[in-house]
Amino acid sequence: MDEQQAWLNDEEREAWLGLQSLFTLLPGVLDTDLQGLQGITLFDYHMLAMLSEAPERNLSMTDLAARTSASLSRLSHVVKKLEARGWVVRLQSKEDARVKIASLTTKGWDVLVQIAPHHVATVRSLVFDSLDDKDVKDLSRISRKIVRALDEEHWILDPA
């Protein structure tokens, strides 16, 4: 590699400090906020939200892993934990017994309905209240460019 090219220039360094500060701070604040509500993590919440939006509130474990940017082993651990709370059940696909399904229960749905307004209000106050329409579009564009570099088949790049 060309040594001149190796380092970040001033503008890149500014952007990198901004992005790194953002991902060091924001998930922790959202986590703490949710833990105070129902003892769930941001990852748990996102998983429940993805199930709630799926047809019949079911997703295969593979699709759910994609939608939560998680490995199957991490996801499996979290699904077991939320199954113990009665919010999710694991099923076998009727079409293909090898396919494992995660399904949101009525109890899980009720929990999500209860906490969603608070969580969305937090996201709005910490993220969107500070951004104008152009910022929101720019953020969509830039985040997708980076997500594509991380995983060119990531589901948000081609939502069904």
Torsion, Cα of 110, 157, 91, 46 (10° steps)? -30
Minimum CB distance to a second copy, residue 86 (Å): 25
Q: What is the β-pairing status of strands 100-104 and 88-92? A: antiparallel
CA–CA gap between residue 16 and residue 10 (Å, rounded): 10
CA–CA gap between residue 47 and residue 63 (Å, rounded): 11
The stretch among 33-41, 82-90, 100-108, 144-152 that binds a second copy (CB under 8 A) is: 144-152
Q: Does 18 bind a second copy (CB under 8 A)?
A: yes
DSSP assignment, residue 55?
Answer: G
Report the residue from 149, 153, 158, 160 that binds a second copy according to the rule CB under 8 A.
149
Residues within window 48-87 making contact with a second copy, judged by CB under 8 A: 68-70
Which positions ≥6 away from 63 have C-beta within 8 Å? 54, 155
Minimum CB distance to a second copy, residue 64 (Å): 13
List residues binding a second copy (CB under 8 A).
1, 5-8, 11-12, 14-27, 29, 43, 46, 68-70, 117, 120-121, 123-131, 133, 135-151, 154, 156
